[in-house]
Chains A and B, each alone.
Chain A
Amino acid sequence: MDQVLLNSILTLSGIAILASSILFIAAKKFQVEEDPRIQDIDEVLPGANCGACGFPGCRNFADAVVKRGHVGNAFCPVGGNETMKKVGAIMGETVAEQDPLIAVVRCQGSREKAPKKINYLAARSCALSHMTFSGEKGCPNSCLGLGDCVFVCLFDAIKVNEQTGLPEVDKEKCTACGACVTACPRRIIELRPKKDKMVYIACMNREKGAFAKKNCQVACIGCSKCVKVATELQGEAAGSQVESFLAYLSPAIDAEKFGAKIVTACPTKSVVGIGLENEVAQIREEEKKARLEKAKAMKESDALKGKE
C-alpha cells in the first residue's frame, strides 16, 4: 500500500518538474519584448473600451500612442485632461488641454408639444422607425424616442424620460464618447463644450415654418432672430447661421454674457439655455411688465381721447 502511494507521488512530481522546466525554458526563449509604456498607459486609461478615441479599445489606444512615439492629437474624452496629463507624463511630453464636451439632445418635441399622430407598432428601434416613415409626430427631423441612444450608452448617462418621451443626458455621467451621436439615425444629438451655462437650438427641423408648426409647437422656423441677436452682441465671430429653415448657434457664443438675451429672442422657444433659467425668467418678467405698462398707457390715452 505504501509502495503504491509513494510511486504515484513520485511519478506526478516528476511530471510536474518536467513540465514546469519546459514551460520555463519556452517562456525565456520565446519571450516577446513589449514596451513597458503600453502597459503603463493602459493602466491609467479608464478601461471602458468605448471607442470614443477612435480606437477599438483602451489597449489599442495605448499601443498606437507608444508605437508612433508621441501622443499627437489622440485624446481620451472619457478620462479627460487628467488622464491625458498622465499619458503625457509616461510619453514624456505635455498634452494640450481640451475643453470637456457633453452630449445635448436637439429636439424638444415632447408628447405635449408635438402630439402623436400615427401609431407605430413595429420593432422598438429608431433605425427601423426612421427607415419606415417620418415618425409618430409627423416631423421628419424629430426625435423618435425609441432609445437607440440609450442602448449604445456604456455609461448609463442617457435615459428616455417616460413623461416627455425624449432622451435626457445625465450631466455627471456623460463622458462625451459620442456613441449616441452615431447611433441616432437623425443626428439629433450633438457634442458641445461642457459649461455651466450653455445656449443651443433644440431643433433639427429643415422644413418650412408653416409645415413645422403643424407638427410641433417648439419647432425652429428659421426666422433668424436668435442669429441676429447673437451677431449683434458678439459679432460675426460667433459663427451662427441659418440654413434651410434651421438656425444654428455656434458653441463659440458666450452664453454667460449673452445667453439669456438669445433665448428670449426666440418666438417659438426652440432655443434652450442651460443654467440661464433665472436670467431668462427675469428678462421675460421685465418684458411682461413693459407690455402691461404699454397697454395701460394706451388705455389711458384712449380714455383721455374719449373724454376730449
Chain B
Amino acid sequence: MKLKTFRIGGIHPAENKLSRAASIEDAGIPTKVMIPIHQNLGAPSKVLVKKGDQVKVGQVIAEPGGFVSAYVHSSVSGTVSGIEDVTDVSGYRRPCVVIDVEGDEWLEEIDRTPELKRECKLEAKEIVEKIRQAGIVGMGGAAFPAHVKLSIPEGKKAEMLILNGVECEPYLTADHRLMLEHAEEILIATQVLMKAIGVDKAQIGIENNKPDAIEKFKTLLSNYAGIEVVPLKIQYPQGGEKQLIQSLMDKEVPFGGLPIDIGAVVMNVGSVFAVYEAIFKNKPVFERIVTVTGKSVAKPCNLKVRLGTPISYLIEKAGGAPEDTGKVISGGPMMGKALTLIDIPVVKATSGVLLMRQEECERHEESACIRCGRCVTACSLGSVPYLWSREIDQGEWEKAEADHVMLCCECGACQYACPANIPLLDKIRVAKNKINQIKRARSQK
C-alpha cells in the first residue's frame, strides 16, 4: 500500500532513534528550579509570586498577559528565592522564577492516582477554559497556546481534529514513548477535544517508523468512534503543521492563512496527553517528557521532567556528558537550537536534549552555488531557496518578501540538501527578521 505524504519536497535524514526502546522514567526533582515566565508564543505572562513566597506543586505563578498567552504553574514545592534573569534557550537572559525545592507537596485538587477516567460532563466552552487554566501550549516545539487554537473563530467551522504523532525529527522519541505508554489516555482526550471543537472525525498521523505505536492504537480504536490512525511515509518535515494537513486531508492551507481556514485543528500528542491530565486529573502543565540522547551518550533515555529543571541535571541522569561532546542542542538536530550553557531550564516546548559529537557538529566549508536545484527538490513549500539566498546576499529584502520568504517554516531541509554547504537557513532567518523589522516600521508610518 502506498503511504500518504505531502506533495512536494522532503528529505530523509538518518533516523538515529537511539532511545526508542527506553521507557519513560521519572527524572526526579532537582534542588533548584528556574521557571521562565515567558514560555509561549504571543504575549508574555505576568508574575504573581514574589521573593519569599511558599509555593506548592501546580500553583499558578504567572497569569496570561493577553488572549494569546498562557498560565505558568510551579513544578515543585518550596520557597521562591527570587525573580532572576537566567539565560534561556534564546541565548539571552530572561526573567525566571527561581524556586528552592522543599519536599514535594502537591495542591490537593490534583488527582495523583494512575486510575483511568473516561467520564467528561463538561460543556465545550468549559473544556477550553479548563485547558486555558492548565496553561497548555503546543508541546511539539512551537508553544502556541492551545486554547487559542481550540477557540474556533466565528464564521469558521472545524471539520477534523488532527493529532500530530509524527515526530519526524531524528533522535527524538518523547512522543513515540508517550503514545506507546499512554495510548488510552490520548484517545480519551481526543474524544474530549472533538467535543470541544464540535467535530466527529479525528485522525492520528504517525510516521511509519513507529509500527508499534500504530499497532497499539489500532487495537484500541474499536472502542472510540470517529478516530482513525494513519501511517505516514517517513519523510522530513512530515510533522510540520502544514505538511501534515496536506498529507492527511489532501488540502493546502491558503497563503498567509491558518489551518482553521480549511477546517483543520492540529494538536501534538504531547499536548493531547496534557489535556487528559488537565480535564480528568486537574493537573496543569508542569511536567513533560524529554528525550536525552546522542551517539556517545551512555544511556539515551526518555525522562519525565519537571519544568524549570536545568538541562545539566538531565544530562547527569543520562550518564553524564561524554568527553567528545561538541554541541548540546535543545530539540532535534534539524530544528533544535544549540545551547550556550547547559544550566538552561527545561520549558514547555523542550522536546529533547541532543548531545552531538565534535565531528558531527562541525560545519563544512562553503562553496559556490551551481544551481543544482537540490534545495528546490527538498523544499516542502515548493519554493526556490537558492534564489532567496541570492536576494538576501544583495540585501533585496522587499524582493525576498515578494517571493514569500516569510512562509518558510525553517525546517532546514534545503540547507541539509545543499552539496555546496551554503547556510541557506541562516540567511532565510536573517531575512525573516529583517522583513519583520521593515513591516513594523511600515505599520508605524
Spell out A's residues near B (CB within 8 Å). Answer: 117-118, 121-123, 125, 127-128, 131-134, 138, 140, 207
Main secondary structure of the interface of B (DSSP, over half): mixed
Expressed in whole angstroms, the Cα–Cα distance for A68 and B376 within the complex equals: 49
Is the CB–CB distance between A133 and B426 below 8 Å?
Answer: no
Interface centre among B363, B427, B430 (most CB of A within 10 A): B430
User: A128: which of B93, B337, B340, B429 is its contact (CB, 8 Å)?
Assistant: B429
Is the CB–CB distance between A121 and B362 below 8 Å?
Answer: yes
Expressed in whole angstroms, the Cα–Cα distance for A122 and B430 within the complex equals: 12
Q: What chain B residues lie within 8 Å of A132 (beta carbons)?
A: 91, 337
- B423 vs chain A, min Cβ distance (A): 4
- B386 vs chain A, min Cβ distance (A): 15
Is the CB–CB distance between B433 and A131 below 8 Å?
Answer: yes
Is the CB–CB distance between B92 and A127 below 8 Å?
Answer: no
Please name the residue on chain B nearest to A133 by beta carbon. Answer: B91
Question: In this assembly, does B87 line the interface, its C-beta being within 8 Å of a C-beta of chain A?
Answer: yes
Expressed in whole angstroms, the Cα–Cα distance for A131 and B410 within the complex equals: 14
Question: In this assembly, does B438 line the interface, its C-beta being within 8 Å of a C-beta of chain A?
Answer: no
Is the CB–CB distance between B92 and A123 below 8 Å?
Answer: no
Question: In this assembly, does B361 line the interface, its C-beta being within 8 Å of a C-beta of chain A?
Answer: yes
Q: What chain A residues lie within 8 Å of B151 (beta carbons)?
A: none
Please name the residue on chain B nearest to A126 by beta carbon. Answer: B430
Please name the residue on chain B nearest to A132 by beta carbon. Answer: B91
Q: What chain A residues lie within 8 Å of B16 (beta carbons)?
A: none
Expressed in whole angstroms, the Cα–Cα distance for A138 and B340 within the complex equals: 9
Expressed in whole angstroms, the Cα–Cα distance for A133 and B429 within the complex equals: 13
Within 8 A of A (CB), among B88-105: 90-93
- B92 vs chain A, min Cβ distance (A): 5
Q: What chain B residues lie within 8 Å of A207 (beta carbons)?
A: 93
Is the CB–CB distance between B90 and A133 below 8 Å?
Answer: yes
Is the CB–CB distance between B90 and A125 below 8 Å?
Answer: no
Please name the residue on chain A nearest to B395 by beta carbon. Answer: A152
Question: In this assembly, does B251 line the interface, its C-beta being within 8 Å of a C-beta of chain A?
Answer: no
Is the CB–CB distance between A128 and B430 below 8 Å?
Answer: yes
Interface residues as binary, B244-278 with A (CB distance below 8 Å gives 1, 0 otherwise): 00000000000000000000000000000000000
Question: In this assembly, does B357 line the interface, its C-beta being within 8 Å of a C-beta of chain A?
Answer: no
User: How many chain B residues have a CB neighbour from A under 8 Å?
Assistant: 17
Interface residues as binary, B359-371 with A (CB distance below 8 Å gives 1, 0 otherwise): 0011100000000
Expressed in whole angstroms, the Cα–Cα distance for A131 and B337 within the complex equals: 12
Question: In this assembly, does B374 line the interface, its C-beta being within 8 Å of a C-beta of chain A?
Answer: no
Interface centre among B93, B337, B340, B434 (most CB of A within 10 A): B340
Is the CB–CB distance between B340 and A122 below 8 Å?
Answer: no
Is the CB–CB distance between A122 and B91 below 8 Å?
Answer: no
Main secondary structure of the interface of A (DSSP, over half): loop
In the complex where A133-B92, A134-B92 touch, is A127 in contact with B430 (Cβ < 8 A)? yes
Is the CB–CB distance between A131 and B430 below 8 Å?
Answer: yes
Q: What chain B residues lie within 8 Å of A140 (beta carbons)?
A: 92-93
Expressed in whole angstroms, the Cα–Cα distance for A133 and B344 within the complex equals: 13
Can you list 27 A-B pairs, Cβ within 8 angstroms, ordered by A?
A: A117-B340, A118-B340, A121-B361, A121-B363, A122-B423, A122-B426, A123-B426, A123-B427, A123-B430, A125-B427, A127-B430, A127-B433, A127-B434, A128-B426, A128-B427, A128-B429, A131-B429, A132-B337, A133-B90, A133-B92, A133-B340, A134-B87, A134-B92, A134-B93, A134-B340, A138-B340, A140-B92
Spell out B's residues near A (CB within 8 Å). Answer: 87, 90-93, 337, 340, 361-363, 423, 426-427, 429-430, 433-434
- A119 vs chain B, min Cβ distance (A): 9
- A118 vs chain B, min Cβ distance (A): 5
Q: What chain A residues lie within 8 Å of B361 (beta carbons)?
A: 121
Expressed in whole angstroms, the Cα–Cα distance for A76 and B92 within the complex equals: 39
Is the CB–CB distance between B426 and A125 below 8 Å?
Answer: yes
Q: What chain A residues lie within 8 Å of B429 (beta carbons)?
A: 128, 131
- A134 vs chain B, min Cβ distance (A): 5
Expressed in whole angstroms, the Cα–Cα distance for A134 and B430 within the complex equals: 16
Expressed in whole angstroms, the Cα–Cα distance for A118 and B426 within the complex equals: 18
Q: What chain A residues lie within 8 Å of B433 (beta carbons)?
A: 127, 131
Expressed in whole angstroms, the Cα–Cα distance for A134 and B89 within the complex equals: 11
Interface centre among B93, B361, B429 (most CB of A within 10 A): B429
Q: What chain B residues lie within 8 Å of A128 (beta carbons)?
A: 426-427, 429-430
- A84 vs chain B, min Cβ distance (A): 28
User: 3 closest Cβ contacts across the A-B interface?
Assistant: A133-B91, A123-B426, A123-B423
Q: What chain A residues lie within 8 Å of B362 (beta carbons)?
A: 121
- A73 vs chain B, min Cβ distance (A): 20
Please name the residue on chain B nearest to A118 by beta carbon. Answer: B340
Expressed in whole angstroms, the Cα–Cα distance for A117 and B92 within the complex equals: 14
Is the CB–CB distance between A134 and B91 below 8 Å?
Answer: yes
Please name the residue on chain A nearest to B424 by beta carbon. Answer: A123
- B426 vs chain A, min Cβ distance (A): 4
Expressed in whole angstroms, the Cα–Cα distance for A138 and B433 within the complex equals: 22
- B406 vs chain A, min Cβ distance (A): 15
New A-B contacts (4) at CB < 8 Å, excluding given A121-B362, A122-B423, A131-B433: A121-B363, A123-B430, A132-B337, A133-B340
Please name the residue on chain A nearest to B337 by beta carbon. Answer: A132
Expressed in whole angstroms, the Cα–Cα distance for A123 and B427 within the complex equals: 8
- B273 vs chain A, min Cβ distance (A): 31
Q: What chain A residues lie within 8 Å of B423 (beta carbons)?
A: 122-123
- A83 vs chain B, min Cβ distance (A): 27
- A150 vs chain B, min Cβ distance (A): 14
- A15 vs chain B, min Cβ distance (A): 42
Q: What chain A residues lie within 8 Å of B91 (beta carbons)?
A: 132-134
Please name the residue on chain A nearest to B91 by beta carbon. Answer: A133
- B85 vs chain A, min Cβ distance (A): 8
Q: What chain A residues lie within 8 Å of B363 (beta carbons)?
A: 121-122
Expressed in whole angstroms, the Cα–Cα distance for A133 and B337 within the complex equals: 10
Expressed in whole angstroms, the Cα–Cα distance for A161 and B430 within the complex equals: 25
Expressed in whole angstroms, the Cα–Cα distance for A203 and B434 within the complex equals: 25
Q: What chain B residues lie within 8 Å of A118 (beta carbons)?
A: 340
- A67 vs chain B, min Cβ distance (A): 22
Expressed in whole angstroms, the Cα–Cα distance for A127 and B395 within the complex equals: 12
- B416 vs chain A, min Cβ distance (A): 14
Please name the residue on chain A nearest to B427 by beta carbon. Answer: A123
Expressed in whole angstroms, the Cα–Cα distance for A128 and B425 within the complex equals: 10
Q: What chain A residues lie within 8 Å of B337 (beta carbons)?
A: 132
Q: What chain B residues lie within 8 Å of A123 (beta carbons)?
A: 423, 426-427, 430
- A258 vs chain B, min Cβ distance (A): 36
